[in-house]
Chain A
């Protein structure tokens, strides 16, 4: 089984600060297969190093899987009703979308990075076989 391939589908901004409205970046991504875990790193060369800026929450090692774009597009719902609901953490103008699809959304907050600079943000995911996305 091949390790998951991650595709970033949208980024709300490529520059952030500590000012309200500009203090975080919203990222959406999808995997080519079911994944049991993901982690987002600033810098580093694989899923074990770099600054952790986001990770999946409390699903691994449960049997619940994150969605897959191609294989399992609709078998996973964070919202049991499947309805669109607003996210109070989003700023006006940021995208609101249902969490019942096949994409994940993460927020990268300025405080998670801490120090001014240019960061390479890498997203890694692990499949059911325990294989992690490779560093590109």
Chain B
């Protein structure tokens, strides 16, 4: 080696550090969330990050409740974190440091954890329990409401009363059924009136028999009723 070498003095902290939880969603329906961690420095070789906040401290040994107890780990643009138990507002923090330990200011993001499932109630019982495809006897009407505000609903024929929203067949509206599905902003305890036509019921589930019709609602956090 010669009598000279190059030495860099770098005292600037990493810039543009950001964190967002579940793509900046307002709600999370599960404790496991995905973080996107940003840093505007072009080259991040050797960089590290530290994450802390309202987390389940047993999930990741490096991510704890406080900055002091969390551990620096290699920088990554994404990270999965488990929020602490209990519905409510959760805040996560991150700092990034470069390869010579210049430390950024902390960035944070919050999300509301909502794991409570909506509860649907048939508020007005079906006016009939047996329908055909013959005019005058081909319609069943009922109403439902939800215990909380909701953003989506669907009415399905399912094979068991315990069925979840991802199974069964949604009843179409081809033959004139109404309010078999909807997306919007629905206040709690609002009655939604539904009519099921016999022909649509048959399309959803062919063959004469007793059909289990179930209403599912989804809240803002993405929780579907069961």
Q: Which residues of A from 120 to 136 have beta carbons under 8 Å from B?
A: 120-124, 133, 136
Which of A108, A124, A136 has a CB less than 8 Å from the CB of B7?
A108
Cβ–Cβ contact A119 & B11, under 8 A: no
Cβ–Cβ contact B10 & A17, under 8 A: yes
> A-side binding surface: helix, strand, loop or mixed?
strand
Cβ–Cβ contact A120 & B4, under 8 A: yes
Q: How far is the CA of A86 from the CA of B3 in the complex (A)?
A: 26
A31 smallest CB distance to B (angstroms): 9
Query: Which residues of chain A have C-beta atoms less than 8 A from B97's C-beta?
Result: 19
A5 at the B interface (CB under 8 A): yes
Cβ–Cβ contact A136 & B5, under 8 A: no
A42 smallest CB distance to B (angstroms): 7
Q: How far is the CA of A68 from the CA of B1 in the complex (A)?
A: 16
Cβ–Cβ contact A15 & B3, under 8 A: no
Cβ–Cβ contact A123 & B3, under 8 A: yes
Q: Which residues of A from 6 to 46 have beta carbons under 8 Å from B?
A: 6-9, 11, 13-22, 25, 27, 29, 42
13 residue pairs of the A-B complex, CB under 8 angstroms, read: A8-B4, A8-B5, A11-B5, A15-B10, A16-B9, A16-B10, A20-B101, A113-B9, A116-B9, A116-B10, A121-B5, A121-B6, A122-B4
| Contacts A15-B9, A16-B10, A27-B5 supplied; 20 other A-B pairs, CB < 8 Å | A6-B2, A6-B3, A7-B3, A8-B1, A8-B3, A8-B5, A16-B7, A16-B8, A16-B9, A17-B9, A17-B100, A17-B102, A19-B103, A20-B101, A22-B100, A25-B7, A115-B9, A120-B6, A121-B5, A121-B6
